[in-house]
Amino acid sequence: AQKVTQAQTEISVVEKEDVTLDCVYETRDTTYYLFWYKQPPSGELVFLIRRNSFDEQNEISGRYSWNFQKSTSSFNFTITASQVVDSAVYFCALRLNSGNTPLVFGKGTRLSVIA
Amino acid sequence: DAGVTQSPTHLIKTRGQQVTLRCSPKSGHDTVSWYQQALGQGPQFIFQYYEEEERQRGNFPDRFSGHQFPNYSSELNVNALLLGDSALYLCASSSGLALETQYFGPGTRLLVL
């Protein structure tokens, strides 16, 4: 069975600080996808990134960056120079690359960015 | 380009009642998945519909049922509501059964009293 663990339940940072959200996953499959979603107070899950298990290249998108390390089964997410608008719950999710398998989510990390 | 829409946004029911939630997928998408998100938890997969058939189902009782219409929109029905059914119900759409990214709607907040 697949499992996603986000050990940090809540994080508070001051605006402009960098913050890293941790994600550790478990699967016996060798091919899978990893995702990060953002959930603002409105409730809608906003897609941020999808990563194929074959692609361990780190990715940067503006102030966001992702560090995928298969050796440690981790897919961490860093926000550089955080802003108040980054305050939300962030979810890491896993989906197998076989059939129409569903997303398996972690419990989320609530990020509060204080002005 | 319209995103995923859900209705209603909020709903209050009492135990034992039945509820129907609705979802319209993002333009160009034909697959709809439903998730239940309890307070403080990550979303849990309920089931997925494609070509008007249930294709995958999570660990939810038969009280949870669904339907997909020819226009790809979908309904989630919950019978004999329990207090524990109180949650945010999220609909996600994607294209086909391939491993495309799922895009989520704003959800329906259900409160069972």
pLDDT digits (tens, 9 = 90+) for A45-85: 999 999 989 888 888 889 999 999 999 999 999 999 999 99
At B66, the pLDDT band (50, 70, 90 cuts) reads very high
Q: pLDDT at residue B9 above 90?
A: yes
Strand B108-112 versus strand B10-13 pairing type:
parallel
Q: What is the rounded CA–CA span in Å between residue B13 and residue A13?
A: 39
Q: What are phi and psi of A53, to 5 degrees?
A: -65, -20
Q: What angle do CA B87, B36, A7 make, to 5 degrees?
A: 95
The proportion of chain B whose per-residue pLDDT surpasses 70, expressed as a percent, equals 96
Give the model's pLDDT for residue A102: 87
Q: Does B25 touch chain A (CB under 8 A)?
A: no
Q: What average pLDDT does the segment B74-93 reach?
A: 97
Q: pLDDT at residue B2 above 90?
A: no
Give the model's pLDDT for residue A42: 87
Determine the distance in angstroms separating the CA of B71 from the nearest CA of chain A, rounded to an integer: 21
Q: Does A37 touch chain B (CB under 8 A)?
A: yes
Q: What average pLDDT does the segment B48-65 reach?
A: 94
Q: Does B15 touch chain A (CB under 8 A)?
A: no
Q: In B, residues 51-110, which contact A (CB 8 Å cutoff)?
A: 55-56, 58, 88, 90, 92, 97, 99, 101-107, 109
Q: Looking up tokens 């403080």, which residue turns up?
A: B40
Does B103 sit within 8 Å of A99, measured CB to CB? Answer: no
At A101, the pLDDT band (50, 70, 90 cuts) reads confident
Give the model's pLDDT for residue B1: 64
Q: What are phi and psi of A68, to 5 degrees?
A: -105, 120
Q: What average pLDDT does the segment B35-44 reach?
A: 95
Longest dimension (CA), chain A: 45
Taking phi over 0 as left and psi of -120 to 50 as alpha, with beta for the rest, A48 belongs to alpha
Taking phi over 0 as left and psi of -120 to 50 as alpha, with beta for the rest, A107 belongs to alpha
Q: pLDDT at residue B73 above 90?
A: yes
Q: Which of B48, B104, B105 sits opposite A100 (nearest CB)?
A: B48
